[in-house]
């Protein structure tokens, strides 16, 4: 007889570092939880991980998660009385170029904001921390005092012990073999019997896709991932390292990362551990003749040192001492990669009460924070920090297996690459192209990807440099800059047309449809014939999402939202869905063209039977170029304008007509510059669960007379006043505009952060949207912003549009 419990609140499938951390955090939240591990704990990727624990990240959310992990690891051994080998050695990240140093400077600034002591180092100072280093070709470095290495197996065991102490049950050698649903509960099948539970977590590491398949009958999708092979090798003892350690009171060398050459080098005992992320990398288990084995517990791939040759030579030139140690041991293990290299942590798309905490490429340094975040999703339904960067719903159904492989190869081979705002990663293009694609291409479109959709970012002219290299800059200038300026000028002075393919369109229908949507938003819904912006708070009054609502009747409402919000906002709208009300995704059936600028009425008039005198926010059915359309008088560019929503196949005829009538094609980069001048917020930049509606300055979208989620929290905040508030700043920027999450200061005190920045071509200066301390929001307040290592003066202008402040142009 098995003593497996028949019932628990949460089942976690997978006992690596991440599953153990999830169990630890869920149990500490007071919930019953059972972790199932098919072999021994750590049998997946965890046992062979190098155990490096950086805090560095250029993502605010990931940095938060890693910072939390390191805080936890420092105290965990004592807390659970399980000694661990955890060496906090610090690390040095080498920079070879101005752009890399700028990237470091940005991370230092973000890190300081999060309370960490990241610091920049001059080349001349490097040898004092790492005497064996060749420095002649370096531009500088970043020092992270919190970096180090931990024994991954001990970490997992310590987390498991902590979980058990808090009441969790850990079942080893007990594979989950499938799932089913019964009476609203999950039934998890195992050879030892079934366990029923409310919620289930897929923490199966590189097996996550296989486990994910079980959830398809319940609304799931194929988990977007591929399994890469990742190697590091350990040298034998190097006498000079032993001597250095003994002469320095047994210090350990800091971990070295040569990110431009793409490897790390760490002291391991008295030898070195070299771990490259090689360009010529390899995915495993991706072809029918190389199937993923049923069980790969505690196994490795065969050594493949040839792939690492270039990196070994480069590292030997950097630290010649490396050549003195013979190769001791090579580790080549499976490591799962999502297309962007970030893990999947959060709700499983489309499946109720199921969650993911899987596909970790840095699961040792992230497991602590990941467990906290996952436990919050499971036990509270929302997270302390906005975690969209790792939310599984950021991928929708364009991620077929080949896409995942191509992207995993690209991402792994560029693991340490810089992510420039103008650059587009080229692998796996054209997942979703609109009927306009060829026309856009012919007009010079340089495409970006939005939820898999190809949209023009800017339009190149003959002779423009459209190489990838030309986009490798944080600066404003580049071949795209004069074109963005021209596109903005056309929208300001004449008219532009932007193809916004891939807008998410969710139709809510049925008796009670309007009441259902009304109950989810704090905003007043518009009447039929009008479009209105509605905000959806979470239970804490924070900004979950924003959608445009277009009701046809009380039983039929169309909600239009950001392309990338497709699966997230579907979840929002299906929350508590009453019987008889349906939510249908119509995104792929339609296209949208924004025609905007002072001449847009004159351009559209001969092409349409619509009444173009109808006011701002009006909606009408009409024809344009003979095609049936829904015409909405709105413009995210902040000029007179209309969104033309049409059947996907009709978009080319409409495009031809409006461009033929003189509207100039413009792209998403210009749109971003234009919207920032109008203080129009963008989802998951300016609008996120890091901020409440009141902090976001969205008071006028709150109808206090009705019930809505998070109302009590917002009422309380209204009584005391929000501590930080949205503001628009004029920035005396240098060559670069303000990046996301740039730190804002008054003197040496950090007082807020930027959520967006761009050059405002209509107002003629650099603009930042920001969240700053409420007492500093008065217009005229002088502040400073950290922009890639430079402190630039910034002046608060207010909390509304700085172009056409009275909205006369949009209402003309």
Ligand X SMILES: Cc1cc2nc3c(=O)[nH]c(=O)nc-3n(C[C@H](O)[C@H](O)[C@H](O)COP(=O)(O)OP(=O)(O)OC[C@H]3O[C@@H](n4cnc5c(N)ncnc54)[C@H](O)[C@@H]3O)c2cc1C
Closest CA to 710 of 543, 533, 574, 537: 537
- What is the rounded distance in angstroms from the CA atom of residue 755 to the CA atom of residue 682? 9
Residue 512 C-beta: closest distance to ligand X, Å: 41
- What is the rounded distance in angstroms from the CA atom of residue 582 to the CA atom of residue 595? 32
Provide the 8-state DSSP code for 62: H
**Which range in 44-52, 105-113, 414-422, 613-621 contacts ligand X by CB under 6 A?**
44-52
Q: Beta 263-268 vs 271-276: how paired, if at all?
A: antiparallel
- Sole binder of ligand X in the list 61, 358, 373, 731 (CB under 6 A): 358
- Sole binder of ligand X in the list 4, 11, 17, 201 (CB under 6 A): 17
Residue 177 C-beta: closest distance to ligand X, Å: 7
CA-to-CA dists, residue 672 to 487, 552, 667, 728, 797, angstroms: 12, 30, 9, 15, 19
Residue 106 C-beta: closest distance to ligand X, Å: 22
Q: Does residue 361 interact with ligand X by CB under 6 A?
A: yes
Closer residue to ligand X (CB): 156 or 504: 156
**Which range in 127-135, 230-238, 471-479, 647-655 contacts ligand X by CB under 6 A?**
230-238
CA 757 to mean position of chain CA atoms:
18
- Sole binder of ligand X in the list 33, 107, 126, 176 (CB under 6 A): 176
Q: Does residue 311 interact with ligand X by CB under 6 A?
A: no
- Sole binder of ligand X in the list 95, 224, 363, 801 (CB under 6 A): 363
- Sole binder of ligand X in the list 4, 18, 62, 101 (CB under 6 A): 18
Closer residue to ligand X (CB): 41 or 544: 41
Q: Does residue 459 interact with ligand X by CB under 6 A?
A: no
Tokens of 772: 């700053």
- What is the rounded distance in angstroms from the CA atom of residue 404 to the CA atom of residue 222? 11
Exposed (0-12), middle (13-18) or buried (19+): which is 231, by Cβ within 10 Å?
buried
The residues with which 255 forms a beta bridge, in sequence order, are 91
Q: Does residue 392 interact with ligand X by CB under 6 A?
A: no
Closest CA to 229 of 330, 309, 105, 154: 330
Q: Does residue 731 interact with ligand X by CB under 6 A?
A: no
Q: Does residue 335 interact with ligand X by CB under 6 A?
A: yes
Provide the 8-state DSSP code for 428: S
Q: Does residue 622 interact with ligand X by CB under 6 A?
A: no
- What is the rounded distance in angstroms from the CA atom of residue 576 to the CA atom of residue 508? 13
Q: Does residue 38 interact with ligand X by CB under 6 A?
A: yes
Closer residue to ligand X (CB): 90 or 665: 90
Closer residue to ligand X (CB): 359 or 661: 359
Closest CA to 50 of 23, 87, 13, 76: 87
Closest CA to 731 of 763, 756, 768: 768
Closer residue to ligand X (CB): 13 or 549: 13
- Sole binder of ligand X in the list 4, 10, 11, 19 (CB under 6 A): 19
Q: Does residue 550 interact with ligand X by CB under 6 A?
A: no
Closer residue to ligand X (CB): 412 or 536: 412
Closer residue to ligand X (CB): 73 or 453: 73
Sign of CA dihedral 403, 408, 413, 415: positive
Residue bearing tokens 């008054």: 746
Q: Does residue 169 interact with ligand X by CB under 6 A?
A: no
Contact positions with ligand X (CB under 6 A) in 49-88: 49-52
Tokens of 301: 């791939």
**Which range in 17-25, 452-460, 710-718, 729-737 contacts ligand X by CB under 6 A?**
17-25
Contact positions with ligand X (CB under 6 A) in 186-215: 203-207, 211
Task: Build a one-symbol-per-residue string for 266-305: x at contacts with ligand X by CB under 6 A, - elsewhere.
Answer: -------------------------------x--------
Q: Does residue 360 interact with ligand X by CB under 6 A?
A: yes
Work out the number of other CB atoms within 10 angstroms of the CB of residue 46.
26
- What is the rounded distance in angstroms from the CA atom of residue 565 to the CA atom of residue 688? 12
CA-to-CA dists, residue 806 to 636, 798, 811, angstroms: 16, 13, 9
Q: Beta 86-87 vs 496-499: how paired, if at all?
A: unpaired
Q: Does residue 234 interact with ligand X by CB under 6 A?
A: no
> Where do contacts with ligand X occur on this chain (CB under 6 A)?
13-19, 36-39, 43-46, 48-52, 175-176, 203-207, 211, 230-232, 297, 331, 333-335, 358, 360-365
């Amino acid at each position: 007889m098995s003593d497996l419990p028949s019932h628990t609140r949460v089942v976690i499938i997978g006992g690596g570092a991440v599953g153990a951390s999830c169990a630890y955090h869920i149990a500490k939240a007071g919930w019953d939880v059972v972790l199932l591990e098919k072999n021994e704990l750590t049998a997946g990727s965890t046992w062979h991980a190098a155990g490096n624990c950086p805090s560095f990240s250029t993502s605010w959310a990931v940095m938060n998660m890693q910072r939390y992990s390191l805080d936890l690891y420092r105290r965990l051994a004592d807390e659970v009385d399980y000694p661990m080998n955890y060496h906090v050695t610090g690390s040095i990240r080498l920079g070879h170029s101005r752009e890399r140093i700028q990237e470091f400077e940005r991370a230092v600034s973000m890190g300081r904001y999060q309370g960490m002591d990241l610091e920049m180092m001059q080349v001349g100072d490097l040898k004092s921390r790492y005497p064996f280093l060749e420095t002649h070709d370096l531009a500088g470095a970043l020092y992270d005092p919190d970096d180090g290495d931990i024994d991954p197996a001990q970490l997992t065991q310590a987390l498991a012990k902590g979980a058990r102490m808090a009441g969790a049950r850990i079942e080893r050698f007990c594979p989950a073999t499938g799932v089913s649903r019964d009476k609203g509960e999950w039934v998890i099948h195992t050879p030892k019997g079934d366990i029923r539970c409310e919620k289930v977590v897929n923490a199966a590491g590189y097996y996550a896709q296989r486990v994910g398949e079980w959830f398809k009958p319940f609304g799931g999708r194929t988990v977007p991932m591929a399994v890469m092979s990742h190697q590091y090798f350990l040298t034998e003892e190097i006498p000079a390292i032993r001597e250095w350690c003994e002469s320095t009171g047994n210090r350990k060398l800091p971990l070295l990362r040569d990110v431009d050459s793409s490897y790390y080098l760490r002291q391991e005992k008295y030898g070195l551990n070299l771990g490259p992320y090689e360009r010529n990398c390899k995915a495993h288990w991706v072809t029918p003749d190389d199937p993923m084995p049923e069980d790969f517990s505690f196994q490795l791939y065969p050594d493949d040192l040839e792939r690492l040759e270039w990196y070994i030579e480069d590292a030997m030139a950097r630290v010649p001492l490396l050549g003195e140690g013979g190769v001791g041991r090579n580790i080549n293990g499976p490591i799962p990669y999502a297309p962007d290299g970030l893990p999947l942590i959060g709700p499983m798309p489309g499946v109720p009460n199921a969650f993911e905490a899987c596909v970790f490429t840095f699961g040792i340094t992230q497991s602590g924070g990941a467990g906290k975040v996952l436990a919050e999703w499971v036990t509270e339904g929302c997270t302390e920090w906005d975690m969209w960067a790792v939310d599984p719903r950021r991928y929708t159904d364009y991620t077929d297996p080949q896409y995942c492989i191509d992207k995993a190869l690209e991402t792994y081979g560029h693991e340490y690459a810089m992510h420039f705002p103008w650059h587009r990663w080229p692998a796996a293009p054209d997942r979703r192209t609109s009927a306009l694609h060829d026309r856009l291409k012919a007009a010079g479109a340089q495409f970006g990807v939005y939820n898999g959709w190809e949209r023009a970012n800017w339009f190149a002219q003959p002779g423009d440099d459209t190489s990838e290299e030309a986009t490798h800059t944080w600066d404003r200038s580049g071949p795209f800059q004069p074109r963005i300026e021209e596109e903005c000028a056309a929208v300001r002075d004449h008219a532009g047309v932007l193809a916004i393919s891939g807008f998410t369109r969710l139709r809510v229908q049925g008796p009670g449809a309007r009441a259902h949507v009304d109950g989810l938003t704090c905003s007043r819904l518009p009447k039929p014939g009008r479009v209105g912006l509605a905000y959806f708070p979470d239970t804490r009054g924070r900004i979950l999402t924003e959608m445009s609502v277009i009701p046809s009747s009380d039983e039929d409402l169309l909600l239009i939202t950001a392309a990338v919000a497709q699966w997230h906002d579907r979840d929002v709208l299906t929350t508590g869905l009453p019987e008889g009300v349906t939510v249908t995704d119509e995104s792929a059936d339609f296209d949208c063209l924004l025609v905007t600028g002072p001449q847009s009425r004159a351009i559209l008039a001969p092409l349409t039977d619509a009444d173009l005198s109808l006011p701002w926010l009006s909606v009408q059915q009409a024809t344009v170029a003979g095609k049936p359309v829904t015409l909405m008088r709105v413009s995210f560019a902040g000029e007179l304008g209309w969104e033309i929503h049409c059947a996907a196949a009709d978009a080319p005829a409409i495009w031809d007509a409006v461009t033929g009538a003189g509207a100039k094609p413009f792209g998403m980069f210009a749109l971003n510059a234009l919207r920032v001048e109008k203080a129009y917020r963008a989802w998951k930049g300016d609008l996120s669960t890091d901020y409440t509606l009141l902090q976001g300055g969205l008071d006028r979208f709150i109808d206090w007379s009705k019930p809505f989620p998070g109302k009590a929290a917002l009422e309380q905040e209204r009584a005391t006043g929000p501590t930080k508030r949205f503001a628009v700043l004029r920035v005396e920027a240098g060559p670069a505009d303000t990046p996301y999450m740039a730190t804002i200061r008054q003197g040496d005190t950090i007082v807020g952060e930027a959520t967006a920045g761009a050059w405002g071509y209509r107002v003629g200066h650099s603009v930042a949207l920001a969240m700053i301390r409420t007492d500093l929001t008065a217009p005229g307040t002088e502040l400073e912003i950290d922009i890639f290592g430079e402190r630039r003066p910034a002046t608060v202008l207010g909390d509304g549009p700085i172009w056409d402040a009275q909205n006369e142009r949009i209402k003309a």
